[in-house]
Amino acid sequence: MDQRYGEFIRRVRELADLSHAQGLLSWDQETYMPPRGTGPRARSLGTLAGIYHEKLTDPALVALVEELRGRELRGDEEVNVRYVERDQRRALKIPRELVVELSQTQSLAHEVWVEARKKSDFPLFRPWLEKILNLQKEVAHRVGFEGSIYNAFLDEYEPYARVETVAPMLEQLRLRLVPLVERIGATGRRPAAGILDQEFPVDRQEAFGRQALVDLGFDLERGRLDVSVHPFCSGTSPEDVRLTTRYNPRQLTGALFGIIHEAGHGLYEQGLPAEAGGTPVGGSVSLGIHESQSRLWENLIGRSRPFWEHYLPLLREHFPEQLKGVGVEAFYAAINQVEPSLIRVEADEVTYNLHILLRFELEQALVEERVAVAELPQLWDEKMEAYLGIRPPDAARGVLQDTHWSIGSIGYFPTYSLGNLYAAQFFSQARKEMPGLMEQVARGDLLSLKVWLNEKIHARGRRLRAGELVREVTGEELKVEYFMQYLENKYGELYGLG
Nearer to Mg ion, 234 or 294 (CB): 294
Q: How far apart are CA 408 and CA 87, in angstroms?
A: 18
Stretch that binds Mg ion, among 99-107, 287-295, 327-335, 403-411 (CB under 5 A): 287-295
Contact call for residue 299 and Mg ion (CB under 5 A): no
Nearer to Mg ion, 205 or 294 (CB): 294
Active site residue 477: no
Question: What is the maximum span of the chain, computed from C-alpha positions, in angstroms?
Answer: 69
Contact call for residue 205 and Mg ion (CB under 5 A): no
Q: How far apart are CA 59 and CA 25, in angstroms?
A: 28
One DSSP character per residue, 241-289 reads EEEEE--BTTBHHHHHHHHHHHHHHHHHHHHS-GGGTTSGGGS-S-HHH
Stretch that binds Mg ion, among 221-229, 289-297, 351-359, 473-481 (CB under 5 A): 289-297
Nearer to Mg ion, 79 or 161 (CB): 161
Q: What string marks each residue from 331 to 360 as x (binds Mg ion by CB under 5 A) or -?
A: ------------------------------
Nearer to Mg ion, 294 or 353 (CB): 294
DSSP symbol at 443: T
Q: How far apart are CA 352 and CA 262, in angstroms?
A: 18
Q: How far apart are CA 308 and CA 327, in angstroms?
A: 10
List 294, 351, 429, 454, residue binding Mg ion (CB under 5 A): 294
Contact call for residue 293 and Mg ion (CB under 5 A): no
Nearer to Mg ion, 191 or 302 (CB): 302
Region for 323 from its dihedrals, namely left if φ exceeds 0, alpha if ψ lies in -120 to 50, beta otherwise: alpha
Partnered with residue 240 across adjacent β-strands are 237
Q: Nearest to Mg ion by Cβ — which residue? A: 294
**Amino acid symbol at 323:** L
Region for 467 from its dihedrals, namely left if φ exceeds 0, alpha if ψ lies in -120 to 50, beta otherwise: alpha
What's the 3-state SS for 297-359? HHHHHCCCHHHHHHHHHHHHHHCCCCCCCCCHHHHHHHHCCCCCCCCHHHCCHHHHHHHHHHH
Rg (CA), the chain: 23
Stretch that binds Mg ion, among 186-194, 294-302, 405-413, 475-483 (CB under 5 A): 294-302
Nearest distance in Å: CB 233, Mg ion: 7
Nearer to Mg ion, 258 or 377 (CB): 258
Nearer to Mg ion, 136 or 294 (CB): 294
414's CB contacts (< 8 A; 6+ apart) are 154, 158, 161, 166, 170, 288, 356, 360
* # residues contacting Mg ion (CB under 5 A): 1
Put the strands of the sheet holding 240-245 in their side by side order. Answer: 223-227, 240-245, 233-237
Per the residue annotation, which of 156, 262, 291, 363 is the catalytic one? 262
Query: What values do phi and psi take at 236, rounded to 5?
Result: -100, -15
Contact between 298 and 264 under an 8 Å Cβ cutoff? The reply is yes
Nearest distance in Å: CB 306, Mg ion: 23
State the residues that interact with Mg ion by CB under 5 A: 294
Active site residues: 262
